[in-house]
Amino acid sequence: MPNIKEVRVPDIGNFPEVDVIEVLVKEGDVVKAEDSLLTLESDKATMDIPAPFGGTVKSVRVKAGEKVAEGSLILTMEVAEEAVSQPVVPAPASPVAQASPPPNPPQPPLVRGGEMVVAASGGKVHASPSVRAFARELGVDLSLVNGSGPKRRILKEDVQAFVKAELAKPRGGVSGGLNLGLSAMPAVDFAKFGAVEIKPLSKIKKISGANLHRNWVSAPHVTQFEEVDITDLEAFRKGMLDEAGKQGVKLTLLPFLMKAVVAGLKAYPEFNSSLAADGESLVMKKYCHIGFAADTPDGLVVPVIRDVDQKGLLDIARELGTLSAKAREKKISPVEMQGGSMSISSLGGIGGTYFTPILNSPEVAILGVSRSTIKPVWNGKEFAPRLMLPLSLSYDHRVIDGALGARMTSFLSALLSDVRRMLL
């Protein structure tokens, strides 16, 4: 004959009615005496209701979101023979409790008024004592967990989901294990200050934003600046425009820069490398694929031109035109944006002097190019008007040290100021 006992809400102090915010057991669960059965919350405190005895849960009679008071039926439990003599939570309305008064004082509910809302690094954390205990057990900082319960309360499932997501993140020396412990950005109601409009981010912006943020924080990169005399290069380019035009190609500065960069990759192969996933070695690339940042109405994309070292200037210019048109028409495929050795971000057609480009990881360097202007340059006898091009080379300092960074920009400068050197 099964021995079924009722478990009711015990004396919970001066609270006539409280909210059930979490039911911690379900039908069929085997619980031990003092295991938490449910979490209640008043406007002043959160409390866990412990099992007065051990047994198997037969039926749960309350749901999250309901209100209960002292004496409300929580669940029924099948108890073992020896548990019959165990203390039963006194609940005046319960005939069971009246029939078998407890020989020992009942286990009090875990009332933790002061812990209901705890200020943590990211603001306020709402979680029941049982969830807090669970998080403590797993070493989870609750301020980093998003709550899915009422009023953003953190539930046990939220802690589990957080741990799962953390474990799914890539580990290792290069990209994994970033926990910056940053405080959460406060949500601001901008409408308080004036009219606003919500504009969803494009898919490209969301993806590139997340990647740029990751690259920004995960790779310590510095930027080396250089001003390059491209007067002769520009004269040569202009002289080539007609010929290129006849072949339907627009010959801009960028193909020259690409050729200079691949010469730089060959001279300083660390620039054509990536850190291995475990952070223990460098992957030295034997190919020279150059990415270029293309501005599209939906955001930034970086198509890659393959084997730039094996192509002529006009072929590169043609491919540049095709790929940037494809990018603007949203027809570029992910494969066409992969496998770069190094990238170039040219803002020369737009303006600006210098900037600090963010790495396109796992590449270890990116060349930023700004608008060229004519400047007076001292040639040893006089100031001569020269066309000067500002370069900004960002590099991953874990792979490239400052001396190598400066050598690369000096190399690019020497090459671009005398294009004949590209033939060497």
Question: Which residue ranges make up the site for ligand CAO (CB under 6 A)?
Answer: 252-254, 292-295, 300, 320, 324, 345-349, 357, 369, 371-372, 389
- Nearer of residues 30 and 235 to ligand CAO, judged by Cβ: 235
**Residue 411 near residue 418 (C-beta atoms within 8 A):** no
Q: How far is the CB of 219 from ligand CAO (least distance, A)?
A: 15
- Nearer of residues 6 and 319 to ligand CAO, judged by Cβ: 319
- Clarify whether 397 is annotated catalytic: yes
Q: How far is the CB of 234 from ligand CAO (least distance, A)?
A: 9
- Nearer of residues 58 and 326 to ligand CAO, judged by Cβ: 326
Q: How far is the CB of 372 from ligand CAO (least distance, A)?
A: 4
- Nearer of residues 150 and 349 to ligand CAO, judged by Cβ: 349
Q: How far is the CB of 264 from ligand CAO (least distance, A)?
A: 17
Choosing from 126, 213, 289, 397, which is the catalytic residue?
397
- Nearer of residues 300 and 365 to ligand CAO, judged by Cβ: 300
In the bound state, the residue with its beta carbon closest to ligand CAO is 348
Q: How far is the CB of 281 from ligand CAO (least distance, A)?
A: 29
By annotation, the residues acting in catalysis are 397
